[in-house]
Each structure stands twice: as structure tokens, then as C-alpha cells.
Amino acid sequence: MNYFNSKKIAGTKVTDIRSKVEEALKAEGFGVLTEIDIQATMKKKLDKDYLPHLILGACNPVFADKVLSVDQHISLMLPCNITIREIENHEVEVAIINTLEVMKVIENPIVEEYAKEVNEKLNRVLKNI
């Protein structure tokens, strides 16, 4: 399996689809804790031009609590990242981390079960935008 899942959307902009992504996340119990604007950061730090590209750090506190209760070091792998970026053909791609694949490195069946549930929620986010 891939370490991410994605959906391409034509006829929109990063700024327009962001609110739909956040609404879909909220419906699945997630909130956005962090945001990185790749376009602005790369321009400022490297004077390099990028197309619009956001990384949203999303958290579902119920599941964060569950996995942290199993292993506090899992905080290294939180929050769940979602990217919204303009791609070359004037489409916007929304990509989500595949938590099921990523959490396999923990090698804990309890964590893998939680990761499966989170992955299902994030895939519904993609479906619903």
C-alpha cells in the first residue's frame, strides 16, 4: 500500500478547497492544530517559487489519547498530515497520510487497530470533499 491517499479536484484553488477539507475533517472528529504554508516558507527561506501548497496538521483527540495511552513516543508521529496543493495541470490535490501503513512501524496490534479506524475516517474526508 501507499503511505498516502489522494484526490485531485479540477476547477478550484487551494484557498477555496481548504474550507471544505476542514469541514470534512470536523465531521470526522478532527481539528487542525498546525499549518505550514510551503509556498510562503520556501519563498522566504530559499527565495524559491512554489505553487500554493499547505500542510495541515489534523488531530482527532479521542484517537490521539488512545494511541498515546499505549505508547507516549507515538507523539512523534502526530498529528495526521493533510496536504492541499496546486499541481501543474491547474488541479488541486488533497492528500492524506495513510495511518495504517505509517503506524505499522510501531509493531503493536492495538495501535494498528486504531490506525485502521483513523485511516477510514481520513478516507471519508477525501470522499466527502
CA distance linking residue 99 with residue 118, whole number of Å: 7
pLDDT at 36: 98
In the predicted model, what is the mean pLDDT of the chain? Answer: 96
pLDDT at 79: 95
Count up the domains in the chain and report the number.
Answer: 1
pLDDT at 65: 97
Asked if pLDDT for residue 1 goes beyond 80, the answer is no
> What's the mean pLDDT in 31-50?
98
* 49-67 pLDDT per residue, tens: 999 999 999 999 999 999 9
The domain in which residue 92 lies consists of 4-127
pTM > 0.85: yes
* 81-125 pLDDT per residue, tens: 999 999 988 899 999 999 999 999 999 999 999 999 999 999 999
- The CATH number covering residue 115 comes to 3.30.310.70
